[in-house]
Structure 1
Amino acid sequence: MSSAARPRRRHPTPSTPEFWSIWHVDPLAAVLIAVAAVTYGWWMVGAARRGTRWPWWRSLAFLAALVLFGILQFGIVGVYDRQLRWAFVLRLALLFFAVPTFAAFAAPVSLLRAGGPERLARAATAALASRPGRFLGNAIVSPLIALALFCFLLTPLSAVVRESEVSATAITVLVPMLGFALLTPLSEPGVLRSSTFVTVEFLLAFVELLADAIPGIVLRVSNHVLDGSLVHAVGRPWFPSPLQDQHLAGDLLWFIAEVADVPVLISLFIRWQRTDRREARSVDALSDEEMEELTRAHLQRRG
């Protein structure tokens, strides 16, 4: 058969213009965006009235979080996430990793302390200092939760969740909240640990973050549909077969999991810098007698 007569291979993804031309209205997402924008703006006004200048780049990070959230909910990913695995995985991963990362860099808890209601600020501070807050603030925990979340995609139950309207609504609300709860203790300046703990935390988190890519790799290399759903999505000429859909989902998850390592490692590095400066200031504040006593006690422990 000549090349002219050979049937043209259909690409299982939308073209760039079509990707950006498919939209729908998500009332829940619209309400969440409006509430978040008004609340953040209200706290900025309160901070300005109290004489606190809020960094422009933090406001820009919050705007980026809202824009990305809107694209995921209103765009093609939100339209087809119940039909296509790659759309579902892309929405889930970015709601868990990217949206909370931008929101954490916006430091809404610090802004709440600077310009929000004092009672709510005290409650947020207490939540960060609580045992669950300290547990979530451990950078060893965040990669383990991410790994468990994405290993779920390898099970037949993931198809049930993907195709459920109730689950789609729950994901819209709960997944960004979970990601933000994991990242906020890492990014807020009030959460400090010893330099030794942060060093161990950094090394263990680095290993675990690499493991986050495993579910994506498994989705990509498997030659059978892992969630058991073999129904071919219909509606667009480029819709992939179930196995192609799974491979595309694996490619996306693999890439996002690797890129998502960066903000967590950056947050750990920032935490290490803060801890190092705090410990240096505490040592500089000691008198010569106190420093000598501290050195003597350290040598006695090692002896």
Structure 2
Amino acid sequence: MESRAQRIAGPAILAVSALIVVLIGLAAGGGAAPLQLLDPGPVVRWGLPVIKLVVNLTAAGMVGSLVVALFALRAGQRPFEVALDTASVSAAIFTVASAATAFFTFLNLFGSAPSAGAEFGQQLGRFLVETEAGRAWLLTTIAGAVLTVLTFAVRGWTSTLLVAVLAAASLVPMATQGHSGEEANHNTAVVALALHIVAAAVWLGGLILLVVIRPVVDRADMVRVVSRYSSIALAAFVVVAVSGTVRAAVGLVSPENLLSPYGALLAVKVVALIAMGVLGASYRRRLIAKLASAGAARIFWLLVTVEIAFMGIASGAAAALARTPPPVDTALPEEATPAQVLTGAALPPELTIDRWFTMWDIDLLWVFVVGFGLFFYLAGVWRMRRRGDRWPLYRTLLWAFGMLLLLWVTCGPINAYQDYLFSLHMVGHMLLSMAIPLCLVAGAPVTLAARAIRKRDDGTRGGREWILWAVHTPFSRVVTHPAFASLMFIGSLWVFYYTDLFRWTLYDHLGHEWMVVHFLLSGYLFVLSLIGIDPVPYRLPYPFRLLTLIAVMAMHAFFGMAIMMSSGLFAAEWFGAMGRTWGPTPLEDQYIGGGVAWSVGEIPTLILAITVAIQWSRSDDRMQRRRDRQVDRAGDAELEQYNERLAELARRDVARR
């Protein structure tokens, strides 16, 4: 009875506090006020945000349980099973709530009354397949149904990891909803909201899972589980805080708008988040190590309950915010320019020399990638040096330079102008696929992680175990093979620009993010197969590496020349319709982009060739030194055999005489 009460208490407190806050927020902020036209009625006005709240909470239970299971629990044991059961139940409720949200969203947008007639069904069907909101919730519902089955069926490490990735991805369509799709800064709002939703789900769902598995984990093991969750929660808190700030800035526009119902709800959410951060940081540092003590454990779980209540307040405020109109209309103006219609932002000023250093267009996703990449790498170096191990300084500097260059490409002038200038897009492509990977591979992050991250001995998997697992998977053997890496590197150039993939990356921000990831990974794998020291299953001999580079350089030059000789525009309805009055004409700019691919893109390849040649020379030197040491230890057996053979021939010659 006590175990069941403990498992129910946490989710119940969360649900009640969230429901109270969302109802108060809707009443105070006007999110449930009657509409002047096509009012769907009070059931829809009040019911829709409540159902969305259920979606958010169950999404957290689904994603957070899977993440904590992967990094803090051991597969095959009872707590791991309970975590997957929790994720399965959450996914089932998530599916039903998502379907209900889709239905209520349809009623809210079209003001239709539910009917059993064929016309109502046809309208609902068209909404689900022809509108952005309908497709988003349809995909979310389908993903939830699939996850319900998978979380119930899987029990192994790899399968659980794949399900966790799918669960996190299923939350992305939700980020396109709310106000973000109607705002001028659409891309910024969507990325910030997506990161906010996923990180909050990990944080909240993980904490709920701690309460759920508490009865089946002994106190000694719970110390390790809570400690590992705390590390995950800290990273999630950073993402939630930063992404929430950016999302709020998009909706508020200026600080004076804080004095509005929207600003008041936002303040409630911020205060709750700060309280959770301070509370979690303080009591976890002091009490986690003392959980084996009954007195400390009671205080710890009491404070966890308080934190869950604050999470409910923040979740309720977030659900009310999604229905509360922002104080400023952030939609595009009725007489928008062509650039605003196509990109959602005004045409930037002419690209001058000073703007290469002062122009920024922040992509929050890559801010986090660079920030965490630098932090964890430097933390690994610091840990090694603290225990007396050495790590080459030049590798640290190259990694830091590569990360900062990645930040400049994804958040600086290239990101600000690549939608308007094909040549800037090509500069970004060359840096992402060639220059940045050259620096990152030289940093040897896998080798550093294997040496710096503590090895676990309790059967669970931490960062080190998951990294080494990924390196040795069959998939890794394929993608790191020199033949595959080379084909992907050079083949993707032609496939990307001469198919609709390029157009997709222009019109859809998700496509843009995919493009950055693809170019970065394809370049990283290609460089890794040639000069990396991180472990890979197979590498070509040095002569074949140089031949591969020569072939890639030739294909790269041919690709650039093909663009320069092209008489038509890539995505003419995009680059040719921007209304840009400065800089080269679109066709001239495309010619410049081809020249960038042909000339500038060869510089990193030349550096690669020089590096391969140096490594080849050092490899020969090392081989000769090993041979010399062997001779010093045991003598030169081959030379002795050769001399003996010559002596034998001489004796035979004397005997014949």
Q: TM-score range by the shorter chain?
A: 0.7 to 0.9
CA offsets per residue over residues 141-188 of structure 1, 9 Å max, x none?
A: 544333212223541422333332111112233432332233234333
| Partner Cα separation in structure 2 for residue 129 and residue 271 of structure 1 | 24
Out of 606, 619, 626, which is 1:262 matched to? 606
Q: 1:144 to 1:174 in 2, by over 3 A?
A: closer
1:203/1:154 Cα in 2 relative to 1: closer, same or farther (>3 Å)? same
Work out which of the residue numbers 597, 621, 627 in structure 2 matches 1:253: 597
638, 646, 657: which is aligned to 1:291?
638
Q: Distance in 2 between matches of 1:194 and 1:156?
A: 32
Q: Which amino acid aligns with 1:64?
A: F
Stretch of structure 1 that moved more, 18-27 or 99-108: 18-27
Structure 2 Cα separation of the partners of residues 180 and 289 of structure 1: 42
Distance apart, 1:247 and its partner CA = 0.9
What's 1:155 paired with?
Answer: 498
1:19–1:279: structure 2 CA closer, same or farther, 3 Å change rule?
Answer: closer
- Unaligned stretches of 5+ residues in structure 2: 1-349, 457-462, 643-657
What residue is the counterpart of 1:301 in the other structure?
A: none
Match of 2:617 among 248, 273, 277: 273
Deviation at 1:75, TM superposition (A): 1.5
CA contact (8 A) 1:100 1:180 kept: yes
- What secondary structure is seen at the aligned counterpart in 2 of 1:181? helix
Q: Distance in 2 between matches of 1:126 and 1:281?
A: 34
Which aligned pairs between 1:176-191 and structure 2 lie closer than 5 A?
176-189=520-533
TM-score by length of 1: 0.78
Deviation at 1:122, TM superposition (A): 6.2
Task: Tell me the residue number matched to 2:488.
Answer: 145
Q: What is the alpha-carbon distance in structure 2 between the residues aligned to residue 241 and residue 194 of structure 1?
A: 47
Find the counterpart in structure 2 of residue 300 from structure 1: none
- State the one-letter code of the partner of 2:394: W
Query: Greater relative contact order: 1 or 2 (C-alpha under 8 angstroms, separation 6 or more)?
Result: 1
Q: In 2, are the aligned partners of 1:159 and 1:228 still within 8 Å (CA)?
A: no
Map of 2:326 onto structure 1: none
Partner of 1:90: 427
Which amino acid letter does the alignment assign opposite residue 90 of structure 1? V
Alignment of 1:164-183 (within 5 A): 164-183=508-527
Deviations 1:228-263 (A, max 9, x none): 546525365325433123112111111232112123
Query: Does structure 1 retain, via aligned residues, the 8 Å contact 2:505–2:515?
Result: no
Report the residue type matching 1:80 in the other structure: Y
Which shows bigger deviation, 35-44 or 210-219?
210-219
Contact 1:134 1:185 in 2 (8 A): no
Secondary structure, counterpart of 1:14 in structure 2? coil
Alpha-carbon spacing, 1:39–1:49, altered in 2? closer, same or farther (3 Å): same
Cα 1:234–1:292 change in 2 (3 A) is: same
The answer to whether residue 412 in structure 2 is matched with residue 75 in structure 1 is yes
1:197, 1:111 → 2: CA distance? Answer: 25
* Structure 1 residue 131 displacement after superposition: 6.2
Equivalent-residue separation in structure 2 for 1:121 and 1:271 (angstroms): 28
Structure 1 residues 73 and 231: alpha-carbon distance in aligned structure 2, compared to 1, 3 A threshold: closer
CA distance in 1, matches of 2:614, 2:469: 22
Distance 1:27 1:294 in 2: 68
CA distance in 1, matches of 2:513, 2:539: 41
Larger Rg: 2
Letter of the 2:531 partner, please give it: S
Q: CA 1:193 to 1:37, structure 2 compared with 1: closer, same or farther past 3 Å?
A: closer
Residues 201, 19 of structure 1: alpha-carbon distance in 2 compared, 3 angstrom cutoff: closer
The structure with more helix, counted as a fraction of residues: 2
Moved more, 164-173 or 122-131: 122-131
Length, aligned pairs only: 285
Matches within 5 A, 1:1-303: 14-118=351-455, 120-121=463-464, 124=467, 142-157=485-500, 158-189=502-533, 197-229=541-573, 231-234=575-578, 236-284=580-628, 285=630, 287-288=634-635, 290-291=637-638
* Offset of residue 109 of structure 1: 2.3
More off after superposition, 241-250 vs 153-162: 153-162
CA contact (8 A) 1:133 1:185 kept: no
Larger deviation, residues 224-233 vs 99-108: 224-233
Structure 2-normalised TM-score? 0.39
Q: Letter of the aligned partner of 1:111 in structure 2?
A: L
Shift of residue 16, structure 1, vs aligned partner:
0.9
Q: Cα–Cα, structure 1 residues 117 and 109, in superposed 2: closer, same or farther, change >3 Å?
A: same
CA RMSD of aligned residues (A): 3.5
| 8 Å CA contact 1:143, 1:212 repeated in 2 | no
Contact 1:192 1:275 in 2 (8 A): no
Identity %: 20
Contact 2:477–2:537, Cα closer than 8 Å, also in 1: no
